Chain A
Amino acid sequence: MTVNLTVKSIVEQIRAGSLTPTAVAEAYLQRTKNIAQKLNSHLHLDEAAALAEAKGSAQRIKEIGADRLPLAGVPILIKDNICVRGSKTTCGSKILENYVATYDATVIRRLRDAGAFVLGKLNMDEFAMGSSNENSAFGPVRNPWNLDYVPGGSSGGSAAAVAARLAPVALGSDTGGSIRQPASFCGIVGLKPTYGTVSRFGLVAFGSSLDQIGPLTCNVEDAAMVMDVLTGLDAKDSTSVQHPHAGFAKALASHSDGLKGKTVGIPEEFFDSGLDPEVGVCLERAIADVQKAGAKIKRVRLPNISYSVAAYYVIATAEASANLARFDGIRYGYRTKEAGVSLKELYRKTRSEGFGQEVKQRIMLGTFVLSSGYYDAFYAKANKVRELISRDFAAAFDSGVDVLLTPTSPTPPFKLGEKLSDPLAMYLSDICTIGVNLAGLPGISVPCGRTNAGLPVGMQLIAPKFNEQTLLIGAHAYERATEWHKDQPAI
């Protein structure tokens, strides 16, 4: 079989009886053997375990019926900060290099219950801290469009693998843009749901008031199908809520009007001099295409959005410093080999040897902004700015805007090593996505062009809370009017 399949086409063929989960698994595993090494996209690929998973999917299909399983026979790759029972969950870190998850994340259980199966686990920036996937303890991931370039991060393995068609869908996590920015860099679709939409039970925490799990897929329809399964209240995650407007795939099918009569807001702040000219050209063309599809364009302002990166690197690092305090080498994970040291030295050596440079930097930043004498100046102030940014978004939507359209990243993919020595340059590559996390909104990145060098460019749509339907309908209408999502890297 060909591996150039969508989620939808796999489900259709499984239902028609022309394909089995095992045949799907074998075909993707065969392709993965040839390509994963070039990309360094996979951290754990156990063929026997993947085939056993496919058998489990076949069994569910036999017992329940493919027609009643929304993701019957669909293989899924998982970012390595999401727990899959019996499988290593390293978070791309030496400190968890031998950690084997003892339970399944809620998203894994929901996917399996829907007929899907886990194909393998993917590389990522250590503890999801990074925008280029160069911070993994297991080496950088490469962009399938050009191996000299980064795939974005932190879900770089997820984006690279889906773009290279090593699976039709991968799960990522997004704290400041970690699903959308790599999706943009790799020319695929990535969706960050409204905060609370998808359970984080079994996701290793980074910034707890910001983290969300979401899908990376080859097209919008597939994203809607996977979101239908991921979405839902989970008693094991107290921040999860009952989504008031679920049923995304159905909504796509019944809203053929798409963008007609919708108002698309263009925040001026994202189109200033900081935007790469080639990205600017792609975005101007996308705005024209959206207009041609029947949308009204309205220029809007988000007056405080330029402070989003500063507020984010206070709030996210503060939360990370607390969340990562649990890694101390006592009960599980890496422990220093140095013998005869005091307890304090045991903690310090374990953490210093186990964490990478960027993680240590963020732990220290977070520790500093929470420390006595600096809390009000940094942490309290950042929370106020977060509130102002949320109000800016609310005001834009209240002015009659249905969705906002922005670049996903101010630049196209950059070369490996290009931004490693400058932490600010790296942090600023998330300037278009971070505000969405601070305000808890849903955002989606869809491909909208290529640079002269052939590298993908993405645009982001942002909707009010729990309006994933609007987001998906808008993105789907754009996709139908353009061809960018059909492009594939020649790897």
Chain B
Amino acid sequence: MSKIQVDRELVRKVADLAQLSLSDPEIGLYQERLSKVLSYVEQLNSVHESLGQDWRPDTARGVPGSSTPERADLVSDSLPVEEAMKQAPARIGTAFQVPRIIE
């Protein structure tokens, strides 16, 4: 893999994907800091590994050697409505009132 060039455009693109808006000075700051970290991370390319192209981590098991247990479905109490409503930024009856999220 060729060396990653972190330019202002790449920082803008990544910020866009990450739902962040950056000021001009921030773009410069992150350009410098991300360049530094990514050029360090690129040393992973020099690791000689024989796991092969087809090897994939088992994402369901978290860390190597673990397994995710199965369990029965059980009925239990849930959070009382009034407790949950304490977190609401605004409310209409027992509903959270939030900004419109479907445009």
A-side interface residues toward B, CB under 8 Å? Answer: 99-100, 102-103, 195-196, 208-210, 235, 238-239, 241, 304, 307, 309-311, 313-314, 321, 325, 328, 330-332, 335, 342-349, 351-352, 355, 357, 360-361, 363-365, 367-369, 371, 377-378, 380-388, 390, 422-424, 427, 438-440, 465
A131: shortest Cβ distance to chain B, in Å? 14
Interface string of B53-76 (1 = CB under 8 A from A): 001110000111110110100100
Of A335, A380, A427, which contacts B89 at CB under 8 A? A335
**Cβ–Cβ < 8 Å partners of A390 in chain B:** 63-65
Q: A239-B66, A241-B69 are in contact. Are A332 and B37 (CB under 8 A)?
A: no
| Extra A-B contacts (19), CB below 8 Å, given A310-B44, A330-B98, A387-B51 | A102-B87, A195-B66, A209-B63, A235-B71, A325-B19, A331-B96, A331-B98, A361-B30, A361-B33, A377-B45, A378-B41, A378-B44, A381-B44, A381-B45, A383-B57, A384-B49, A386-B57, A390-B64, A440-B65
**Cβ–Cβ < 8 Å partners of B34 in chain A:** 361, 364-365, 368
Interface assignment of B92: CB less than 8 Å from any CB of chain A: no
**Cβ–Cβ < 8 Å partners of A210 in chain B:** 63
* Inter-subunit contact A364/B44 (CB<8 Å): no
**Cβ–Cβ < 8 Å partners of A332 in chain B:** 87-89
Interface assignment of B21: CB less than 8 Å from any CB of chain A: yes
CB nearest to A85 among chain B residues: B83
* Inter-subunit contact B68/A352 (CB<8 Å): no
* Inter-subunit contact A342/B103 (CB<8 Å): yes
* Inter-subunit contact B21/A345 (CB<8 Å): yes
B46: shortest Cβ distance to chain A, in Å? 9
CA distance A378 to B40 in the complex (A): 12
Q: Determine the main DSSP class of A at the interface with B.
A: helix
CB nearest to B21 among chain A residues: A348
What is the total number of residues of chain B having a CB less than 8 Å from a CB of chain A? 52
Q: Which 5 A-B pairs have the closest CB atoms?
A: A440-B63, A348-B21, A383-B57, A367-B18, A390-B64
Of B43, B79, B84, B98, which contacts A310 at CB under 8 A? B43
**Cβ–Cβ < 8 Å partners of B49 in chain A:** 384-385, 388
CA distance A312 to B68 in the complex (A): 22
Q: A195-B66, A384-B51 are in contact. Are A343 and B103 (CB under 8 A)?
A: yes
**Cβ–Cβ < 8 Å partners of B101 in chain A:** 330, 343
Of A195, A235, A314, A352, which contacts B63 at CB under 8 A? A195
* Inter-subunit contact A100/B86 (CB<8 Å): yes
CA distance A378 to B47 in the complex (A): 12
* Inter-subunit contact A381/B62 (CB<8 Å): no
A433: shortest Cβ distance to chain B, in Å? 15
**Cβ–Cβ < 8 Å partners of B86 in chain A:** 100, 102
* Inter-subunit contact B89/A241 (CB<8 Å): no
**Cβ–Cβ < 8 Å partners of A342 in chain B:** 103
User: Can you name 23 A-B pairs with beta carbons within 8 Å?
Assistant: A102-B86, A196-B62, A235-B71, A239-B62, A239-B66, A241-B66, A241-B69, A307-B43, A310-B40, A310-B44, A313-B40, A330-B101, A331-B88, A331-B96, A343-B101, A343-B103, A361-B30, A368-B14, A378-B41, A385-B44, A387-B57, A388-B47, A439-B63
B51: shortest Cβ distance to chain A, in Å? 5
**Cβ–Cβ < 8 Å partners of B100 in chain A:** 343
CB nearest to A366 among chain B residues: B18
**Cβ–Cβ < 8 Å partners of B44 in chain A:** 307, 310-311, 314, 378, 381-382, 385
**Cβ–Cβ < 8 Å partners of B57 in chain A:** 383-384, 386-387
**Cβ–Cβ < 8 Å partners of A102 in chain B:** 79, 83-84, 86-87
* Inter-subunit contact B30/A364 (CB<8 Å): yes
CA distance A438 to B62 in the complex (A): 10
Interface string of B80-95 (1 = CB under 8 A from A): 0001101111000000
**Cβ–Cβ < 8 Å partners of A382 in chain B:** 44
**Cβ–Cβ < 8 Å partners of A313 in chain B:** 37, 40-41
CB nearest to A350 among chain B residues: B19
Interface string of B18-51 (1 = CB under 8 A from A): 1111100000011001101110111111010101
* Inter-subunit contact A307/B47 (CB<8 Å): yes
Which among B41, B64, B66 has the highest number of chain A CB atoms within 10 Å?
Answer: B41
**Cβ–Cβ < 8 Å partners of B89 in chain A:** 331-332, 335
**Cβ–Cβ < 8 Å partners of B71 in chain A:** 235
CB nearest to B15 among chain A residues: A364
CA distance A95 to B102 in the complex (A): 23
Of A304, A343, A352, A380, which contacts B20 at CB under 8 A? A352
**Cβ–Cβ < 8 Å partners of A335 in chain B:** 89
CA distance A103 to B84 in the complex (A): 10
A196: shortest Cβ distance to chain B, in Å? 6
Q: A367-B14, A384-B55, A423-B37 are in contact. Are A209 and B62 (CB under 8 A)?
A: yes
**Cβ–Cβ < 8 Å partners of B43 in chain A:** 307, 310
